[in-house]
């Protein structure tokens, strides 16, 4: 029979005693450090869909303990879950990890997006230490005030939301494959060659225009509201740059880009692209959900 000491991992307990923040229960010797970042911003996890890279996210969170964690929308994909229930263990682990983080003293702020808009009615409430707020303001160590918002409200402002279907290289590759099948079928039916990829290239171009328009619109609104910058998500396009003097940050997503925005202790902002360890990588790229 295993002793209680063995069951708790033996030597790992010592690490537990000294750890203040964000001790990882499974790996007590790994994550038991004080927060190394002032703030971490993540969005577009799309938990509840097959595209969500939950284990990579868990790894990332373990390596990025922070004082504040912003969940910038589309965390749980209510749209997909309503259609088809999909909830593997790893998705549970993410939710548990977030709750545990809040319990260990990290301020966790959830800014709902369009896929989890059901949470918007809980604005101002607190669930297990997680604050729900439809928008937030983050002040960096060097005094910059950043507006934190998911970004879907700008869909209505911008013409042509056709980009929705065209974001993501995997989808593009899939379309090229489809193109081959389609044209062999057309050939058998005696129809001339028709290039789906040409058609798509035109569409991708308008998708890129959409991205630029989105970025400009969000930055302009942040400026209009008197903020020095903005942190958003929604379009699954990680980015950090100044647009007409306003800092535009998009923390990306955990479906495609595996990216986050972090604020170092000195107020420096950085876009982090997470590379999952070999063991965590999915064997084959899948068709992923977008925005
Ligand atoms: Mn969204």
CA 116–ligand 1 middle distance (angstroms): 8
For 127, the domain range is: 13-280
Domains: count for the chain? 1
Please compute the mean of the pLDDT values over residues 156-163 and round it to a whole number.
53
Residue 148 lies in a domain: yes
Residue 85 lies in a domain: yes
Q: Which range is most confident: 25-34, 76-85, 224-233, 268-277?
A: 224-233
Residue 284, pLDDT above cutoff 80: no
Residue 291 lies in a domain: no
Q: How far is CA 211 from CA 76, 105, 115, 146, 188, in A?
A: 23, 36, 19, 20, 39
Residue 3 lies in a domain: no
pLDDT on residue 33: 60
Joined tokens for residue 23:
């001790």
Residue 83, pLDDT above cutoff 50: yes
What would the pLDDT profile of 104-129 be if each residue is shown by its tens digit?
Answer: 999 999 999 999 999 999 999 999 99
What would the pLDDT profile of 55-77 be if each residue is shown by its tens digit?
Answer: 999 999 999 999 999 999 999 99
Find out whether 290 and 255 touch, Cβ atoms under 8 Å. yes
Residue 220 lies in a domain: yes
Read off the CATH number of the domain in which 140 is found. Answer: 3.60.21.10
Q: Which residues surround ligand 1, an ion (CB under 5 A)?
A: 74, 113-114, 152, 234, 291
Residue 242 lies in a domain: yes
Residue 172 lies in a domain: yes
CA 23–ligand 1 middle distance (angstroms): 31
CA 152–ligand 1 middle distance (angstroms): 6
pLDDT band at 158 (very low <50, low <70, confident <90, very high): low
Residue 8 lies in a domain: no
In the Cβ-directed half-sphere of 123, how many Cα atoms lie within 13 Å?
A: 9
Q: What region does 48 belong to: left with phi over 0, alpha with psi -120 to 50, or beta?
A: left
CA 73–ligand 1 middle distance (angstroms): 7
> What's the rounded Cα separation, in Å, for the pair 172 and 108?
36
């Amino acid at each position: 029979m295993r002793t209680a000491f063995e069951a708790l991992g033996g030597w790992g307990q010592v690490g537990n005693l000294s750890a203040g923040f964000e001790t990882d229960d499974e790996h007590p010797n790994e994550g038991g450090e004080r927060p190394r970042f002032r703030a971490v911003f993540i969005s577009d996890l799309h938990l509840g869909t097959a595209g969500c890279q939950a284990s990579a996210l868990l790894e990332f969170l373990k390596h990025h303990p922070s004082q504040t964690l912003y969940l910038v929308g589309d965390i749980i994909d209510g749209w997909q879950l309503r259609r088809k229930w999909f909830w593997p263990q790893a998705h549970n682990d993410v939710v548990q990890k977030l709750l545990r983080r809040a319990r260990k003293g990290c301020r966790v702020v959830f800014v709902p997006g369009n896929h989890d808009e059901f949470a918007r009615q809980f604005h101002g409430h607190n669930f297990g230490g997680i604050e729900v707020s439809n928008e937030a303001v983050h002040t960096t160590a060097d005094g910059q005030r950043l507006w934190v918002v998911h970004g879907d409200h700008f869909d209505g402002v911008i013409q042509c939301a056709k980009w929705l279907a065209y974001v993501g290289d995997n989808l593009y590759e899939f379309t090229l494959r489809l193109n081959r099948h389609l044209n062999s079928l057309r050939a058998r039916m005696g129809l001339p060659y028709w290039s789906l990829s040409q058609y798509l290239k035109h569409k991708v171009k308008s998708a890129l225009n959409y991205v630029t328009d989105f970025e400009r619109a969000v930055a302009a609104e942040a400026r209009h509201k008197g903020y020095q910058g903005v942190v958003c998500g929604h379009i699954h396009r990680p980015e950090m740059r100044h647009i007409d003097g306003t800092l535009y940050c998009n923390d990306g997503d955990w479906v495609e880009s595996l990216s986050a925005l972090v604020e170092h202790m000195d107020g420096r902002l950085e876009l982090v692209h997470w590379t999952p360890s070999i063991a965590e990588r999915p064997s084959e790229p899948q068709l992923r959900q977008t925005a």
